A = this chain, B = another copy of it.
Amino acid sequence: MPNKRKNDPRAMRERITRSAYDLFQEHGYAGTSMQAIAGAAGVTSGAIHHHFPTKEAIGLAVIEADVSSAFRELWLEPLAAETSALAVTLKVFRKLAKEFDSQGYVRGCPINNLTLELGSMNSIFREPLRMLFDEWRVQLSSALSEERGTLSKNAKNNDATANLVIAAYSGAMSMAKAEQSGGPLRKVADELEKLLAA
């Protein structure tokens, strides 16, 4: 039954949000039309409206599915699996710096990109984006608390350190995007290592 997958509603939803995720990363949310998403996903305009009545509905699904899973894979799984939160942090910065330099372009952090475009006061996107930042801070802070001995005594407390690391990462991603280079991520990782390692 070769048609089965094609008509599988879940697979089609996934194809639509995956295409939307890529287009949002490239052109921003406001810069992406429903038509462009349908074209990239290879579905008809009728099919896309059947799954997602509005672009807002696609945006929310992209945050809940694609952005969340990229974030889990990059940050939460390594934080849960490895013993040093600082080592995980530095590895993420340096891995992305290398990736950006070898691919020759930087689209930036999807959470950050969407937050800065859509994070205004009354936006329906603000709450799910805020929750991602929250989860990030809680997990990082908890992972940092398990390695207190290997962190500099100058660090104020786990929550403050987690806030600084997340801020430094988000900002370094902006700078990397402005420069289209991994340089800022590498420099910020070096400085965080000097300041935070015991």
A interface residue numbers (CB < 8 A to B): 26-31, 105-108, 112-113, 115-121, 126, 129-130, 133, 152, 154-156, 159-161, 163-164, 166-175, 177-180, 184, 187-188, 190-192, 194-196
Contacts and interface: CB of A to CB of B under 8 A. Distances in A.
A155 to B, nearest CB: 7
Contacts of A196: 195
Contacts of A173: 171
Contacts of A161: 191
A135 to B, nearest CB: 12
Number of copies: 2
A194 B120 CA distance: 31
Contact of A155 (B169, B170, B195): B195
Nearest to A192: B164
